[in-house]
């Protein structure tokens, strides 16, 4: 059974602080995706990483895919209250037709 | 371009009943995936359909079933409802042609409460 362990599950920080969310698995995925979900809405894709070792940046967010394509991290620099939300990592299996989600990290950024 | 729509948005049922949820994907998308989201288990994959064929399914009992129509609209059905089926059911659409890198667009979900 493929599992994605995401940590931490909950994070409450002050505006301006940096943070990192981790996503780990014993399985290899063909790609790793990060989503953000707001209350009452479905998840929205932030980024997809495909190549082992790949690093992608989206403004203050930096995403990294592990060399072995089993783990990933999301780093937010100088967090803002607008970053508050549920962040989900998701691995697409090698067959490509199934997406496994981590349990999510609920981030709260205080002004 | 209209987004993914799901109907109904809210549903209350009692144990033993059955329920059908509907999902209309983004125009031109041929893949629809269904997920169950609960506070305890997070987002769990139910099944994925592409051009009316189920390509993969998750580890859910046979009470959970789905289908896709020729216009790519999809329905999922849950029979003999149990209290533990209370959840947010999300569907996501994508082109389905490059599954590893496709962007999945999620609908707002159907909130099912089983009493």
Q: Which of residues 40-79 of B touch A (CB under 8 A)?
A: 42-45, 48, 50, 55-56, 58-59
- The pLDDT score that the predictor gives to residue B16 is 97
Q: Is B83 strand, coil or helix?
A: helix
Task: Quote the CA–CA distance of B74 and B61 in Å, as a whole number.
Answer: 19
CA A71 vs CA A2, A29, A53, A90, B67: distances in Å: 13, 9, 10, 10, 33
Please give the angle made by the CA atoms of A90, B60 and B78, to the nearest 5 degrees: 115
pLDDT interval class at B85 (50, 70, 90)? very high
For B3, which residue in chain A has the nearest alpha carbon? A42
- Longest C-alpha distance within chain A, in Å? 43
Instruction: State pLDDT tens for residues A14-39.
Output: 999 999 999 999 888 888 999 999 98
Instruction: Give B112 to chain A, closest Cα distance, Å.
Output: 13
Residue A2 confidence (pLDDT) above 90: no
How many CB atoms are closer than 10 A to CB A62? 16
Instruction: State pLDDT tens for residues B5-41.
Output: 999 999 999 999 999 999 999 999 999 999 999 988 8
A99 touches chain B (CB under 8 A): yes
Task: Quote the CA–CA distance of A31 and B100 in Å, as a whole number.
Answer: 6
Instruction: State pLDDT tens for residues A33-92.
Output: 999 999 889 999 999 999 899 999 999 999 999 998 889 999 999 999 999 999 999 998
Contacts of A46 (CB under 8 A, 6+ apart): A33, A34, A35, A36, A58, A61, A63
């Amino acid at each position: 059974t493929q599992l994605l362990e995401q940590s931490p599950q909950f994070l409450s920080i002050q505006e301006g602080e940096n943070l990192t969310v981790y996503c780990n698995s014993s399985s290899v995925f063909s790609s790793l995706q990060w989503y953000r979900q707001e209350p009452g809405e479905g998840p929205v894709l932030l980024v997809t990483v495909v190549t082992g070792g790949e690093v992608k940046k989206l403004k203050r967010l930096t995403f990294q895919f592990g060399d072995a394509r089993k783990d990933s991290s999301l780093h937010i620099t100088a967090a803002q209250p607008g970053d508050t939300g549920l962040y989900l990592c998701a691995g697409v299996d090698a067959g490509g037709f199934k997406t496994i989600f981590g349990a999510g990290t609920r981030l709260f950024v205080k002004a | 371009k209209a987004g993914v729509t799901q109907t109904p948005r809210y549903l209350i049922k009692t144990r033993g009943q059955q329920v059908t949820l509907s999902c209309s994907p983004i125009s031109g998308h041929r893949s629809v995936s269904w997920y169950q989201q609960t506070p305890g288990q997070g987002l769990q994959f139910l099944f994925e359909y592409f051009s009316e064929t189920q390509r993969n399914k998750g580890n859910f009992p046979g009470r959970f079933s789905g289908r896709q129509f020729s216009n790519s609209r999809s329905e999922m059905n849950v029979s003999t409802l149990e209290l533990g089926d209370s959840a947010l059911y999300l569907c996501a659409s994508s082109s389905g042609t490059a599954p590893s890198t496709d962007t999945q667009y999620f609908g707002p979900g159907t909130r099912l409460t089983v009493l």
